[in-house]
C-alpha cells in the first residue's frame, strides 16, 4: 500500500481531523460521449437496453436516446428531460428530472421503463418525473458513504454537449459541523 493511501485511510478514520476547515469547489463538465458510454454500460447489464445516447442542451435540458434490446427492430426512443429540482444537501439527495417529451409513448418515462428490467436502485419513475437518489447511486457505484458527509452543495446543469456537475465540499471543524463558508470571501 502506498504511503498516501495509508495516510488517507488514517485520516478518514478520524473524519479528516487534520484537514478540519478545508473547503473546495469542483466544477466538472461531463461530455455527452462519456455519459452515453457510462449509461450504456450500466444499463446493458439489465438485458433490456442495447444502448443509450445523451445529448445535453442549453437550459438544463437533455435528450436521452434509448435503444431497447427487445424488440430489436425498434428505433432509438428519444426522451427529453429537464432538470426540475436540485439536491438540497444534506436534507435531500434527490435530483428530479421532468419528461418534456417522449416520442411515441404516452404516460411519461414510466411507460418506457415497463420495457426495462432491473432499473438500478436509486432511480424511481413517477409518471412524468425521474427521481435520482444520489446517496443510493454513490453507494451502488462504490463511492464511500462518508464522501456524501463532506459535500455541502451539489448542482447539476447542462450546456451544449455536456452535463455540468458543480459541488462544494468541506471538512467540518469539530463542534461547528455546518459552517456556511459561502458568506466568507
Q: How confident is the model at residue 185 (pLDDT cuts 50, 70, 90)?
A: very low
Confidence of residue 30 (pLDDT cuts 50, 70, 90): very high
Q: Show the beta-strand stretches assigned E in 32-180.
A: 49-57, 61-68, 77-85, 94-102, 123-126, 129-133, 151-159, 162-170
Is the whole model's pTM more than 0.85, yes or no?
no
Cell numbers for 21, please give them.
476547515
pLDDT digits (tens, 9 = 90+) for 70-115: 877 888 889 999 999 999 988 899 999 998 987 765 555 655 666 6
3-state helix, strand, coil in the chain (%, to 5): 25, 40, 35
78 conformational bin, left if phi > 0, alpha if psi -120 to 50, beta if neither: beta
Decide if 153 contacts 168 (C-beta within 8 A): yes
Asked if 158 and 58 touch (Cβ cutoff 8 Å), the reply is yes
Q: CA torsion 123→127→129→131, rounded to 10°?
A: -20
Supply the pLDDT for residue 184.
Answer: 46
Q: How far apart are CA 144 and CA 135, in angstroms?
A: 10
Q: Which residues, other chains included, contact 49 with Cβ-Cβ below 8 Å and sequence gap of 6+? A: 40, 43, 66, 67, 68, 69, 116
User: What residue segments make up the domains of the chain, in order of their start?
Assistant: 22-172
What residues pair up with 140 in beta bridges, in sequence order? none
Range from 13-17, 54-58, 80-84, 108-112 carrying the lowest mean pLDDT? 108-112
Amino acid at each position: 500500500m502506498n504511503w498516501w493511501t495509508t495516510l488517507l485511510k488514517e485520516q478518514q478514520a478520524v473524519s479528516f481531523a487534520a484537514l478540519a476547515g478545508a473547503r473546495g469547489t469542483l466544477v466538472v463538465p461531463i461530455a455527452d460521449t462519456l455519459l452515453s458510454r457510462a449509461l450504456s454500460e450500466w444499463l446493458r447489464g439489465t438485458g433490456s437496453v442495447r444502448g443509450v445516447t445523451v445529448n445535453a442542451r442549453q437550459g438544463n435540458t437533455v435528450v436521452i436516446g434509448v435503444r431497447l434490446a427487445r424488440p430489436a427492430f425498434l428505433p432509438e426512443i428519444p426522451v427529453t428531460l429537464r432538470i426540475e429540482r436540485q439536491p438540497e444537501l444534506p436534507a435531500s439527495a434527490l435530483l428530479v428530472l421532468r419528461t418534456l417529451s417522449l416520442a411515441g409513448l404516452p404516460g411519461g418515462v414510466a411507460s418506457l421503463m415497463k420495457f426495462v428490467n432491473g432499473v438500478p436502485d436509486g432511480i424511481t419513475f413517477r409518471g412524468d418525473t425521474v427521481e435520482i437518489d444520489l446517496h443510493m447511486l454513490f453507494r451502488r457505484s462504490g463511492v464511500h458513504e462518508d464522501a456524501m458527509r463532506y459535500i455541502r452543495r451539489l448542482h447539476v446543469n447542462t450546456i451544449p454537449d455536456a452535463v455540468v456537475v458543480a459541488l462544494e465540499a468541506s471538512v467540518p471543524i469539530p463542534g461547528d459541523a455546518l459552517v456556511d463558508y459561502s458568506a466568507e470571501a
